Structure 1
Amino acid sequence: MTDTTYKHLMKEGVQGAPLLVTLHGTGGDETQFFAFATQLRPDATILSPRGDVSEHGASRFFRRTGEGVYDMTDLARGTQKLANFVREKAQATGASEVFGLGFSNGANILANVLIEFPDLFDRAALMHPLIPFQPKPAPGLAGRRVLVTAGERDPICPTSLTLALAEYFRAQGATTELSWHNGGHDIRENEIEAMRTLFA
């Protein structure tokens, strides 16, 4: 039987409101964006899983062999598992829409779920994602809303790959916004405001 369980936090929202899934970065956990998400959408059901992979004690959603070098087999496993987990919770709560918010490693797994299961998330915020491969076509993303945020001096996420990912989503027909700040791998106020708009 396929494992679809994560250690997680969940707050029941108003009946028929969206499900908002938060996905932490490497070394974070289910608490990293849980309170923030409840402030973004107080009516929503908030679902925050903890990554099921440990990298020297730091939680992640899939394995890697080095900085920016992904274990593609484990990425596929983690993507399938997360998609199954979110779909189950969305059906159980009767959510009207499914929203996703991910940072760093959480943004990477969320981006890959969008690519592999384009029907699952209606809106997604990808904060500082790194997709170092050419994604396959996903025409099912047409009409979805995607926000990509990034730092111009991010040492982990090259600007060229950020631009390429945003262009990929546009090419699939997703309504795509790209929000930059002049810092590094940190979250700034302009990103928060862009998410408020996205999830309003």
Structure 2
Amino acid sequence: MTDLSFIHRYVPATASGRPPLLLLHGTGGNEDDLLPLGQILSPGAALLSPRGKILENGMPRFFRRLAEGVFDEEDVKTRARELADFIAEARDDYGLAAPVAVGFSNGANIAAALLLLRPEILAGAALLRPMAPLKEPPQPDLTGMPILMVSGQLDPIVPIEEATRLADQFTAAGALVKHEMLPVGHGLSQADLNLTKNWLTTL
């Protein structure tokens, strides 16, 4: 890593024609967690994987929460701005095009916040088990922005209606939203990987 504003890992591209992936881990993860996933989803793509700056009982996250499923929305906004600035720094430093975010759980939620608050920083996003990070977000212009959302019908953490609310927010802003629902819980499954990998090939 270079001296940028987030602890992170960067893996240079080994193949052309694939957008860089911004890998955003879930609670308790770190900058190494999703690198193998990124290599499976888009072999040869550049990978940028930051570590969340917030600690919850020693576990890294990207923003504070007040309780399970209850977010500190002011902190969401602050941390989304910080992450957007880091992405801009990393693009300059590593010579990257705008990345496609791939986020899981808390990482999916901060990616959703980026789309709502600083959409120019991303070229698209795959959100695995997301929920709406802001109750009343601004309505950005997301015209043509490709967004994949994958929800678990048996997810005990993210109610389906929360994920649907987020999908509706994106659709209202003009995004090209594909919202898939799988008969699984909060953890990732092979079906998640297959859906995401196939979706990435369409970009």
Q: 2-side partners of 1:84 and 1:138: how far apart?
A: 18
Q: What does residue 63 of structure 1 align with?
A: 64
In the alignment, does 2:101 pair up with 1:100?
yes
Deviation at 1:116, TM superposition (A): 0.3
Write out per-residue CA displacement over residues 166-192 of structure 1, whole angstroms, 9 at most, x where no aligned residue.
122112111110111112111122221
In the alignment, does 2:174 pair up with 1:173?
yes
Write out per-residue CA displacement over residues 122-171 of structure 1, whole angstroms, 9 at most, x where no aligned residue.
110111112151322111x1111000111111111111111111122112
Cα pair 1:19 1:95 within 8 Å, conserved = yes
Q: 2-side partners of 1:125 and 1:17: how far apart?
A: 15
CA-based RMSD of the aligned residues comes to: 1.8
Cα pair 1:179 1:190 within 8 Å, conserved = no
Cα pair 1:79 1:113 within 8 Å, conserved = yes
Cα pair 2:41 2:193 within 8 Å, conserved = no
Cα distance, 1:197–1:97 mapped onto 2, change above 3 Å: farther
Please identify runs of 4+ aligned residues in structure 1 that moved more than 4 A. Answer: 14-17
Cα pair 1:4 1:81 within 8 Å, conserved = no
Q: What does residue 73 of structure 1 align with?
A: 74
Cα pair 1:156 1:185 within 8 Å, conserved = yes
Cα pair 1:4 1:84 within 8 Å, conserved = no
Q: 2-side partners of 1:52 and 1:116: how far apart?
A: 19
Aligned amino acid, residue 137 of structure 2? P
In the alignment, does 2:6 pair up with 1:6?
yes
Matches within 5 A, 1:20-35: 20-35=21-36
- The DSSP-based 3-state class of the residue aligned with 1:51 is coil
- The DSSP-based 3-state class of the residue aligned with 2:157 is coil
Matches within 5 A, 1:138-157: 138-139=140-141, 141-157=142-158
Q: TM-score, normalised by structure 2?
A: 0.90
- What are structure 1's unaligned runs of at least 5 residues? none
- The DSSP-based 3-state class of the residue aligned with 2:187 is coil
Deviation at 1:17, TM superposition (A): 4.9
Q: 1-side partners of 2:52 and 2:183: how far apart?
A: 29
Q: 1-side partners of 2:84 and 2:160: how far apart?
A: 28
Write out per-residue CA displacement over residues 69-120 of structure 1, whole angstroms, 9 at most, x where no aligned residue.
1112221121011001111212333333411000110011110001001111
Aligned amino acid, residue 122 of structure 1? A
